[in-house]
Amino acid sequence: MRTSSRSVVDSFIVMDVMEAARKAEAKGRHIIHMEVGQPATGASEGARNALIERLSNGDPLGYTVGLGLPDLRAGIAALYKRWYDVDLNPERVIITTGSSSAFLLAFTALFDAGERVGLGEPGYPSYRQILKALSLEPVGIATTMENRLQLVPDQIPEGLAGLIVASPGNPSGTMLDRDALAALIMAAQDKGTAFVSDEIYHGIQYEGRAVSALEISDDVYVINSFSKYFSMTGWRVGWMVVPQDHVRSIERLAQNMFICPPHASQIAALAALAEEDQAEANLKVYAENRRLMLEGLPKAGFTRIAPPDGAFYVYADISDLTDDSRSFAAEVLEKAGVAVTPGLDFDPERGAQTLRFSYARSTEDVAEGLKRLTAFMQAR
């Protein structure tokens, strides 16, 4: 059977690491998971109960409208008022099947095949692969530690159809302040470059607060999800905010590509919006985990790190230890029983000398993982 060149994308390495960890666990080993950005907590009790109640009442949970439940869209608009003091028309909010389908919709709506789209490196690996699968050309832009692994305006090349920026970033966890984000948005718009803001880690911040692109401009695409702050990874429900005159285009695409987001997940997400207390309790756990990581990783021998402002990752330069992060990560899994992600997932050019550590799990797991990493490094 013939295949399309669009199907030739790289694997998502962190998922490969997860599978290797699963196989080790199937053999009876206890693995500490520092590879995947998945909270150890699940959806709030209120979110789960809301769905249980609907199911108990015999609700068939059929299709919703393509743009998502109106009450959920209104609830998200209210969230922007609480978090950012932004008055957002709920009609601009589009519910999606996780942030992943939001990227598919955004890239399809904004760009024509063959166009070039910029992204900072290191960055979320699926940006590149989704762009490739849509016959678009990802343009990696190397960020520097001096700029805290975030893009700056003079790095934006000419001729880009779009630019993707994440703050807090993955894998670095670093954030852009309002002035820095505004400068990027204005520079992109001056070049006729569409600006896509990945805000999936908003709410999970330790130094200052995350700034939404919508505080600066309405002429942007903003993408977010219930996966991280609301601990709903497996529910696959996210959202995007687009300019008013793009709503109908996105609606037509969403209707044909996905029909609608999962009804059950939307019900739970709506209830989760009213349960920020639990999400804030989870944030306290991440803050303690972050403290342990920033204290423990250097003691273990991982001294070159970008201190994270948000998210739940630490990105480490291990060029003094190896030039093959994938083999190094496999060795850590085999000998220490700790799953970590090779930097090649995030930076094809420099990622052979970096690792990402996730501290999204329980504090007990983080402490045990650091203990194992220290013993591993001492034995090398």
Does 5-43+277-379 match 45-275 in CATH topology? Answer: yes
How many angstroms separate the Cα of 234 from the Cα of each of 111, 150, 357, 372?
Answer: 29, 29, 21, 28
Beta bridge partners of 164: 119, 196
Q: Are 237 and 269 in contact (CB under 8 A)?
A: yes
CATH entry, 5-43+277-379, from 3.40.640.10, 3.20.20.70, 3.40.605.10, 3.40.50.1860: 3.40.640.10
pLDDT computed for residue 306 by the predictor:
82
| Rounded Cα distance, 112 and 134, in Å | 9
Question: What's the pLDDT tens digit per position in 233-273?
Answer: 999 999 999 999 999 999 999 999 999 999 999 999 999 99
Cα distances (Å, whole numbers) of residue 250 to 160, 166, 179, 241: 21, 21, 30, 10
- What pLDDT, on a 0 to 100 scale, did the predictor assign at position 96? 98
**Average pLDDT for consecutive 10-residue bins of the chain (380 residues)?**
90 90 96 92 94 94 97 98 98 97 98 98 96 98 95 97 98 97 98 98 94 98 98 97 98 97 98 95 96 97 92 97 96 97 94 97 97 95
Domain boundaries, the chain: 5-43+277-379, 45-275
Q: What's the pLDDT score for residue 370?
A: 98
For 115-167, write each residue's pLDDT tens digit: 999 999 999 999 999 999 999 999 999 999 999 999 999 999 999 999 999 99
End-to-end CA distance of the chain: 48
CATH of the structural domain 45-275, one choice from 1.25.40.20, 1.10.10.10, 3.40.640.10, 3.40.605.10 = 3.40.640.10
- Partners of 224 in the β-ladder: 239
Give the pLDDT confidence score for residue 131 in this predicted structure: 98
pLDDT of residue 107: 98
Which residues neighbour 280 within 8 Å (Cβ) at sequence distance 6 or greater? Answer: none
Per-residue pLDDT at 289: 97
Q: State residue 40's pLDDT score.
A: 85
Give phi and psi for 165, each to the nearest 5.
Answer: -135, 135
